[in-house]
Amino acid sequence: MNWLALIPHFCLNCSKPCEPIDLCTKCRENLPWTLETFACEPYESATSLFDYRNPVDTWIKQLKFSRKLYIAKLVGLLLSEQLERDWEAIVAIPLHKKRLRQRGYNQAEEIAQFVAQALKLPLIKPCIRIKSTQRQTDLNKNDRETNMFEAFECEHIEFCNKLLIIDDVASTGSTLSEFGQALKQQNPDVQLDAWVIAHGFDRKN
């Protein structure tokens, strides 16, 4: 007997019993879906799964700052449902080693693991974050761009022609853009596409 099948599952949003997908049908339908593209060089396309508002904004904060890693599985699987196996590999935006030590994990990588498993694609780590930057949420648009300048260093990726880049949140797109430029420096011909869980509007002047 599958005893796990007898354990009730509850919606992570409203706590009502639901099927074992961690989200009930009503809450799933009411999520702030957007599936909209936004401009971000040097990507062929950059797309957001959700708007950065309730409950997604709360989920992301809980994932990043409260160690609720089960949220990575939820949003990773929701993202994978929108994707096809069009890439050779998946790459998560890396954290600097100092931030990684403090947090203990990289939330973008946690999400990307579930996407990679669902699409049966390798999750590779061709880049490191060499610059310990300030939190982007504490900065205005211009400072965010300066903050991320030359923040990443990548090794040779000539063997990859098409990569999917995953991050949790994009606001101005500075992090994604700088990361993509670092990849392009190593392989100018690589095609890059980006997906983020949420796209938040810049509220700072």
pLDDT at 132: 72
Q: What is the CATH number of domain 32-199?
A: 3.40.50
pLDDT at 201: 55
pLDDT at 94: 96
What does the alpha-carbon distance between residue 155 and residue 172 come to, in Å, rounded to a whole number? 26
Give the amino acid at 47.
Answer: T
> Do residues 99 and 133 touch, judged by C-beta distance below 8 A?
no
The model carries a pTM of: 0.87
Q: Give the domain ranges of the chain.
A: 32-199
What does the alpha-carbon distance between residue 158 and residue 163 come to, in Å, rounded to a whole number? 11
Those residues of the chain that have pLDDT short of 50 are 1-7, 202-205
pLDDT at 145: 57
pLDDT at 143: 59
Q: Could you give the 3-state DSSP secondary structure of residue 58?
A: helix
What does the alpha-carbon distance between residue 121 and residue 130 come to, in Å, rounded to a whole number? 26
